[in-house]
Structure 1
């Protein structure tokens, strides 16, 4: 077994002494391995960073340097660790190390483009702008994405779009998944709630009223059926007493043919539900539901649990909203058959929580396309949060609420399939040809994201067209001629350009861009003299590297980029690229 020394605490006045059997640190005595003395060469010091922090708080820089000198002197004299090398070149003697030019690391994270008023109809822009400004100048992006996802969820299965002129077999329903990314205190939750307010309003003012009417209608119809069934059973009993088998058989068939009315209750929003409860909700809401999660971390954690593979499949099917029946069978449970599955998602997450999810996707451990379906994922740059005292005009709120209530009144049994008008169709065809001719030149990772964009553009264009139609006269139809014009499509293309820049910023999390831990380690590589171990790095407590996860992430990134190499002989350590010694 490899021997390891754990120094539990660096105490003031500690004394280093070297002897044949022990190393004395104040009251802590550590005994090198006697059973296998040659293993002493592999013994390393494992000093936790919090103890080093205490030392740094207590001692001056001179005392710190003295401590490090005595530590290394002892190890050198004992032959228990690698000697301190004078230069990177001296250390690499005897090793066959092939170095290449390191890949550049962008120390400043990529900045996405700003959301602007040309991306939505004027009625939505006024709502987004005023509410964002009133909440201490919060990011427009958070409210814009929340509002679009909420409107798409309300439209649900009442509408679809066939983007191609001739092939009408390809139709997409407006399923949109939104992800709000930002650090703490960025007003993510308040802005999402603002975007959800019109949907809650429509649920209360229209859908709940309709649900109540349907419930009364259902009760009345079923009461008639119950009375008829009771009368038939009395007649059946009389026929059996008279041994009138022919009449009894006729009555039995009539009883069997009776059907009870079951009008489903529509509830668009679901917050946190078990898979079984979600299936029940979907069974009652064939137009679709919106799963609204304040924190998406719990959603991803549940998706990655062993035995929850079927739940991931349910969400993937819900995003497709193909209209095909979905069947789930479990041992000991009743078989569940859904007429169709239509699922939208909206939630928030912090970058540090998102990072391991991206690493799992990048490594291939979890790469079934679930993350890529969060196409409306935005991570705006940290802006200047300032105190504001701004009154939102009642008109901006009323206009958006009216739009949502009109959408909620659309007949559930009437489905409207939209097409592009002639000008929009020409614009779509031209863009599509350019898109598919260039997408093959992208990397596999980029292709997995880009290939879903055509459907996303069509969905956003559909949602925006409904909003544009809502700006017409109150009596005008939201559906109109079921055509999407060039204005809505051009807005959707602006969304595509905007979301692409956010996607690039999100993916930069795994590439070290703007990562303080990566830049800190890169700036300090020359201080190691050509090589270092993880323990030695933990002792430094440099900015951005005090946490083990931050150190591991920085080491992995610099190793992938070619700045350092991990070797295992004569011991496990990192070699530094000669240009950075």
Structure 2
């Protein structure tokens, strides 16, 4: 909904004066010529004296992130990084939580119910949203660096294992050469059984070690299938700018890729890729977290497609549950200091511990037919979760939410469990998840819901966001421009014809623009509307 607009006092005075002048004119019983003389003068005076109405703020208010919602193990690290970079805490906290989830992966899940086996694994899709100068990329780096350090450690161990494997291959090769002589000698004697025994002893069936991976950047679905089979705990896709990845998924012929990624959010389902060149790849479990940044204008265009029921209306954007679009700090200061080394070390130790979790030593249950060991909520937390879920679902079933927001919030049931598991394992060595941890997870959901409403706002504000974008381009749009001129520039958030039309109509209504429609009926063409900026 567009915000309600009220006239400023100065504008009301001009309107009141015009009304009095017209009333006086009516009492005089003027001739038609006098009316035609006076009314244009009133209009010219109103046009001269009446300032444009301010454009309402297009974005709903969002709360700042309370540092207390972060696990103790990474709180100081995230706060210190945000302060050093002069960015909102959400810009470092969301990547930190997604990175923790990626470190855990499919090693352990959480049971959402007491009796049914509804198991959630910590696959989280996160995004930090802000304009190009907001500091998104530097804010993503600390979390990414932690995962890359983990990957480096595992790669070092892999290289040693690979050297040992190659040595065994050489020995096996020499064994095969010796076996051939034994086989030949046995066959010469007519000892077929002895020849077969010699051949069996020379076989080398050990599989080659696979390189461990945690972070991927730009891999095809087929390659991701191979990587996931080699890394069954799951992977995290990191993209500095997510809009490019989303745009690729929207291309014709990439429908299969979208289906793959939709499955990846669940973290437990299998997937089969059939390709002529590569053959068939069976993926035991599609388990992918995602982390990256995005600019508001590009995001708005994508969200509009999801809201309007277009190709992108398949629930993909709703899976970005940890997407934050915070206000930038009102002030900025130059910071050049050493990072909080102790906080970094505590966070690093936590990432290492989570990467090396042993489900059996933290009290995880194993059940036949369930592919992931899991923890449970304690009784108090389970009762609290039931109450929260009931309230959420009753709200969604009431029909008061838009379809896209209903789809987004419906996934909060899974989100609450995944967040609770990550927060719990970051600060505890295992056991049941307690009520205090669940409260943090639910407070995260409240925080994230406000940001979700801000993210969807540009798609439902009747051109208000686009009007702001056009107003910012005032110097690049000389008087006499058309809607097509705006679209031709290809500016972010200003590429769709109907969005631009709504924005221009709003700017005219609020007196920022004057519109002039020229009839071209004589030439058979459509009427053309040009726009000129009114004086501020």
Pairwise same-fold verdict (TM > 0.5) = yes
Among 248, 256, 260, which residue is 1:310 paired with? 256
2:303 is equivalent to residue 353 of structure 1: no
Alpha-carbon distance between aligned partners in 2 of 1:546 and 1:218, rounded to the nearest angstrom: 52
In structure 1, the residue matched to 2:349 is: 402
CA change 1:216–1:549 in 2 (3 A) is: closer
3-state SS of paired residue (1:377): strand
Alpha-carbon distance between aligned partners in 1 of 2:468 and 2:237, rounded to the nearest angstrom: 38
TM-score by length of 2: 0.74
Task: Determine if contact 2:463/2:500 at 8 Å carries over to the other structure.
Answer: no
Alpha-carbon distance between aligned partners in 1 of 2:492 and 2:482, rounded to the nearest angstrom: 12
2:135 is equivalent to residue 187 of structure 1: yes
Any stretches of 5+ residues in structure 1 without a counterpart?
Answer: 1-85, 88-104, 470-477, 523-533, 576-581
More displaced stretch, 207-216 vs 123-132: 207-216
In structure 2, the residue matched to 1:502 is: 451
**Cα deviations across residues 376-397 of structure 1 (Å, max 9, x unaligned)?**
1110013224123344321111
Task: Determine if contact 1:163/1:419 at 8 Å carries over to the other structure.
Answer: yes
In structure 2, the residue matched to 1:200 is: 148
More displaced stretch, 247-256 vs 446-455: 247-256
CA change 1:227–1:461 in 2 (3 A) is: farther
In structure 1, the residue matched to 2:391 is: 434
* Deviation of 1:517 (Å): 4.1
3-state SS of paired residue (1:344): strand
CA change 1:203–1:328 in 2 (3 A) is: same
More displaced stretch, 513-522 vs 492-501: 513-522
* Deviation of 1:375 (Å): 0.8
In structure 2, the residue matched to 1:240 is: 187
2:124 is equivalent to residue 171 of structure 1: no
3-state SS of paired residue (2:282): strand
TM-score by length of 1: 0.68
Alpha-carbon distance between aligned partners in 1 of 2:318 and 2:501, rounded to the nearest angstrom: 27
**Cα deviations across residues 458-491 of structure 1 (Å, max 9, x unaligned)?**
001111011112xxxxxxxx3x33x211121111
What count of residue pairs does the alignment treat as equivalent? 447
Task: Determine if contact 1:109/1:514 at 8 Å carries over to the other structure.
Answer: no
2:61 is equivalent to residue 111 of structure 1: yes
**Cα deviations across residues 65-96 of structure 1 (Å, max 9, x unaligned)?**
xxxxxxxxxxxxxxxxxxxxx99xxxxxxxxx
More displaced stretch, 388-397 vs 223-232: 223-232
* Deviation of 1:118 (Å): 2.0
RMSD across aligned positions (CA): 3.9
3-state SS of paired residue (2:279): coil
Task: Determine if contact 1:269/1:291 at 8 Å carries over to the other structure.
Answer: yes
2:308 is equivalent to residue 363 of structure 1: yes
Alpha-carbon distance between aligned partners in 2 of 1:130 and 1:371, rounded to the nearest angstrom: 30
Alpha-carbon distance between aligned partners in 1 of 2:123 and 2:485, rounded to the nearest angstrom: 50
In structure 2, the residue matched to 1:450 is: 409
* Deviation of 1:335 (Å): 2.2
Alpha-carbon distance between aligned partners in 1 of 2:178 and 2:84, rounded to the nearest angstrom: 65
Task: Determine if contact 1:180/1:349 at 8 Å carries over to the other structure.
Answer: yes
* Deviation of 1:358 (Å): 1.2
CA change 1:516–1:421 in 2 (3 A) is: closer
